[in-house]
A and B are shown apart, each in its own frame.
Chain A
Amino acid sequence: MRNPLSKTVQELAPSGIRRFFDVANTMDDVISLGVGEPDFDTPWHIREEGIYSLEQGRTFYTSNAGLAELKREISRYLKRRFQLPYTENEVLVTVGGSEAIDIAFRAMLDPGDEVIIPEPCFVSYFPCVKMAGGSPVRLALEEKDEFKLTKEKLMSVLTDKTKIVVLPFPNNPTGAIMTGEELRDIATIIRERDLFVVSDEIYSELSYQGDHVSIASLPGMAERTVVINGFSKSYAMTGWRLGYAAGPEEIIQQMIKVHQYVIMCAPTTSQYAAIEALRHGDEDVACMRESYDERRRFLVKELNDMGIPCFEPMGAFYVFPGIHRFGMTSEEFATSLLRQERVAVVPGSAFGECGEGYLRISYAYSIENLKLALGKIQNFIDTLL
């Protein structure tokens, strides 16, 4: 029999997170600090709107790009929160931010086109670029720069083939953010070199040092940026699978073409719930942000007190402490911690080679849970020293 598999897919490395998850999943009583989703339930008024849409029998496909009402609300939201100019025709509602990432690359890449992927980062960009036929180029960010993308770093990897720069901020797993000033430097290069940006802003509402700034709000950038966002992190709606892309109509129209062939439309119930989230959810977002911020401060202080140095993350819901002094790889550290103390954290190496020597610890947990886990991490460290 011939090999039934695609070489491209076979060559994709299995997700490091998956491997670790399989180990953790065989154990009982694991306290996890390993998830990338909110611990809050979706606010009730949003859930209730989803239920109501079902009661009304709104159980059909929507138009491919999403409900007109929802696209209008997304356009308004992007304007009022981040000063983005995209109209409702420049918005595509997707199955989570993940789908938007996938089809943005598929709509924009030809074989040989290079995409700069600053790491450590979310695990999907690299395989999505590969599957779209593009050439991913890893760019290692460093703790000394607070894991921000600098002008110098970006310049060092640009070639004639570079087409897209991925901007994953606020960042999973480091919690790094980019300020308006820092983005201006990057934007200058993007414009001068005639590049495009895929800006993954899924954590935009979880920024703890003033409001998030989108690179698309800078002069001359809206027309060369696809902004990816969604409802999962900001409104605690991961299971609803709803995200969106906003960008220049020329790109969004081609993305809609891909989307209509492979997805048809995002889940209808989720779309109705999302309208309610955008209209009446600001207060919920502010409340959750305040809770995350308190946990963030708590966790950073406790880790530093424990002798696990950790730069102060200003976004998302992760801290990314270094564990170099313990003389183990991050996978060894995380595996021993899991086996000895039943605490699950994610090895930094799962987010790119340059994440080696770090751990991703999520604070999408109650303070009580964090305390319990920190006590166990302390026990573990005591056995190492």
Chain B
Amino acid sequence: MLQEKILRNIARNSRISTEDLAAMLSASPEEIREAVAQMEKDGVICGYPTLINWDRIDAERVTALIELKVTPERGRGFDRAAARIYQFDEVESLYLMSGGGFDLTVIVHGRSMKEVARFVATKLAPMDDIESTATHFVLKKYKEYGLSLGQRKTRDERQLITP
């Protein structure tokens, strides 16, 4: 229960202080520290990245969503192919999908469309188990990880004092 409450809070703001969390959840800072350490150890918490809108500083950066049709391997399904793919630094996310005529969705970052195209052509497409690839470039990101990347409210529009 405490674990879930911690997770819900740090999912929104991983920089929240242990002391603040403790006060909010009526726990001691020690309990919070222990719970977080345990979840890190258990692999529940896998990291603390920052949500960045790269478009604001680097107009050249591109993101592509690539659909892969893969021949499954007897006994291991798609796991071996997946392991060979997700270890590339270029791969940001990798999902096994249901339906749609393909099996894996790969999300790849690159400095240019050319770079991504080269990655697909030289690394992904030639793999033994890969039957086909379809690459879709992202034109604009509106929302990631539950947070809007576009316009954000910066002003409290409420009256200063209301009954």
Residues of A participating in the B interface, judged by any CB pair closer than 8 Å: 15, 17, 20-21, 24-25, 30, 32, 34-37, 39, 122-124, 172, 290, 294-295, 297-298, 301-302, 344, 346, 350, 367, 371
Contact = CB atoms under 8 A, between A and B. Distances in A.
Q: Which of B25, B160, B163 has the most CB of A within 10 A?
A: B163
Given A295-B24, A301-B23, A302-B23, A37 B158 contact: yes
7 contacts: A17-B162, A34-B160, A35-B158, A294-B5, A294-B25, A297-B23, A297-B24
B89 interface: no
Contacts of A123: 163
Interface in B109-163: 156, 158-163
Contact of A294 (B24, B156, B161): B24
B163 A15 contact: yes
B154 to A, nearest CB: 13
B160 A371 contact: no
Contacts of B20: 298, 367, 371
Nearest to A36: B162
B12 to A, nearest CB: 10
B16 interface: yes
Given A298-B23, A367-B24, A32 B9 contact: no
Contacts of A301: 23, 26
A76 B99 CA distance: 40
B160 A30 contact: yes
Q: Which of A17, A32, A290 has the most CB of B within 10 A?
A: A32
Given A20-B161, A297-B25, A346-B161, 19 more contacts: A15-B163, A17-B163, A21-B160, A21-B161, A24-B160, A30-B160, A32-B156, A32-B160, A35-B160, A36-B162, A36-B163, A37-B158, A290-B8, A294-B5, A298-B24, A301-B23, A301-B26, A302-B23, A344-B160
B163 A297 contact: no
A39 B158 contact: yes
Nearest to A21: B161
B30 to A, nearest CB: 15
Interface in B1-16: 5, 8-9, 16
B163 A294 contact: no
A123 B161 CA distance: 13
Contacts of B159: 21, 35
Nearest to A19: B161
A93 to B, nearest CB: 22
Interface of B: 5, 8-9, 16, 20, 23-26, 156, 158-163
A39 B63 CA distance: 34
Contacts of A294: 5, 9, 24-25
Nearest to A345: B161
Contacts of A346: 161
Q: Which of B25, B156, B160 has the most CB of A within 10 A?
A: B160
B156 A17 contact: no
A37 B162 contact: yes
A350 B160 CA distance: 15
Nearest to B27: A297
B161 A17 contact: yes
A24 B24 contact: no
Nearest to B8: A290
Nearest to A32: B160
Given A294-B9, A367-B16, A25 B24 contact: no
A90 B25 CA distance: 40
Nearest to A368: B13
Nearest to B22: A301
- Which 9 residue pairs of A and B lie closest in terms of their CB atoms, listed nearest first? A34-B161, A294-B24, A21-B161, A298-B23, A301-B23, A32-B160, A298-B24, A36-B162, A24-B160
B102 to A, nearest CB: 31
A346 B24 CA distance: 23
A346 B162 CA distance: 9
A297 B161 CA distance: 22
Contacts of B24: 294-295, 297-298, 367
B20 to A, nearest CB: 6
Contacts of A295: 24
A35 B162 contact: yes
B34 to A, nearest CB: 19
Contacts of A24: 160-161
